[in-house]
Amino acid sequence: MWVVLLEDGIEFYKKKSDNSPKGMIPLKGSTLTSSCQDFAKRMFVFKITTTKQQDHFFQASFLEERDAWVKDIKRAIKCIEGGQKFARKSTRRSIRLPETIDLGALYLSMRDTERGIKELNLEKDKKVFNHCFTGSCVIDWLVSNKSIRNRQEGLMIASSLLNEGYLQPAGDLSKNAADGIAENPFLDNPDAFYYFPDSGFFCEENSSDDDVILKEEFRGVIIKQGCLLKQGHRRKNWKVRKFVLREDPAYLHYYDPAGGEDPLGAVHLRGCVVTSVESNPDGRKSDEENLFEIITADEVHYFLQAATPKERTEWIKAIQVASRTGK
């Protein structure tokens, strides 16, 4: 189906070229559930329940696509409740980029260890933000790199990088701007902090800020992340979890893919053994199920399932590398 998010509802069409929708889901008073576990064999599903208790299920193609839809639909519902007008901040629709701009290539240049943006430890409000940089630094870099003609154009490019997930806001000032409180989602401001999503960013000092991470196990650099099926230790049932692999120290944290800052659990990988398995814990043959097992140094067994053989191989290799490095 071709789906269109409106201010007060969701229209869906049989195909994009159709003039009239097949149906419409009102969002006023509706609730959204993500991830939805009603279908065990389907990943990236979310559910909208209307005030009439009608359930509508949607399946995205991949995790980032589902999360983007969930975020925008939740914002639309929140705007309806607050009597505000919802407007999606879509990079490709509301910001027209020059055809010569390749955000992916620009991101790689920004991450260059010699010529890219320097990651710093910045202090503000009695907190230390590690592995981050200011909004002004981003615009300065774009100007010096001759990627833009002026700072106003730099704001457009930086906002695009932010909306596409190449940059992440750190701290209340930049987060509020990204959520639509400021005129521009990105701030050319020395007090607005940002970080690269795979940089190992963390914030020190106890506060109410969402970024605060104090535990040593979170300080490792993220080397891989994605969704896998995980078997529970007690009920032996399988659930989709978002996994984040870090090295030095080597940890594999898993989260509820619907969201939440805190992990549901962690696997200490130092000294672990990871291998593919031909039969699942219930004894059934699993040549096509892409299962693999992690056995920790404390002899705790974790059974995981990838979507494809290639994905399983990639996870096994990444975990093997992480288990031999760091703490």
pLDDT at 49: 93
pLDDT at 200: 74
Where is average pLDDT lowest: 205-209, 223-227, 272-276, 320-324?
205-209
Query: In terms of pLDDT, which residue wins out, 25 or 149?
Result: 25
Mean of all residue pLDDT scores within the chain: 82
Q: What is the 3-state secondary structure (H, E, C) of the chain?
A: CEEEECCCEEEEECCCCCCCCCEEEECCCCEEEECCCCCCCCCCEEEEECCCCCEEEEECCCHHHHHHHHHHHHHHHHHHHHCCCCCCCCHHHHCCCCCCCCHHHHHHHHCCCCCCCCCEEEEECCEEEEEEEEHHHHHHHHHHCCCCCCHHHHHHHHHHHHHCCCCEEECHHHHHHHCCCCCCCCCCCCCCEEECCCCCCEEECCCCCCCECCCHHHCCEEEEEEEEEEECCCCCCEEEEEEEEEECCCEEEEECCCCCCCCCEEEECCCCEEEECCECCCCCECCCCCEEEEECCCCCEEEEECCCHHHHHHHHHHHHHHHCCCC
Q: How far apart are the first and last CA of the chain?
A: 48
Q: How confident is the model at residue 180 (pLDDT cuts 50, 70, 90)?
A: low
Q: How confident is the model at residue 89 (pLDDT cuts 50, 70, 90)?
A: low
Q: How confident is the model at residue 282 (pLDDT cuts 50, 70, 90)?
A: low
Percent of the chain scoring above 70 in pLDDT: 84
The answer, yes or no, to whether residue 212 has pLDDT greater than 70, is no
The answer, yes or no, to whether residue 232 has pLDDT greater than 70, is yes
The set of residues, in sequence order, having a beta carbon less than 8 Å from that of 152 and lying 6+ positions away, is none
Contact 192, 171 (CB under 8 A): yes
Average pLDDT score over residue span 67-90: 81
Gap between the Cα atoms of 111 and 113, Å rounded? 6
Query: In terms of pLDDT, which residue wins out, 315 or 288?
Result: 315
Summarised one tens digit per residue, pLDDT across range 134-153 is: 999 999 999 998 877 888 88
pTM (two decimals): 0.42
Q: Which range, 46-55, 91-100, 170-179, 218-227, is most confident? A: 46-55
pLDDT at 181: 60
pLDDT at 305: 92
Q: How confident is the model at residue 237 (pLDDT cuts 50, 70, 90)?
A: confident
Average pLDDT score over residue span 24-43: 81
Token pair, residue 175, equals 């987060």
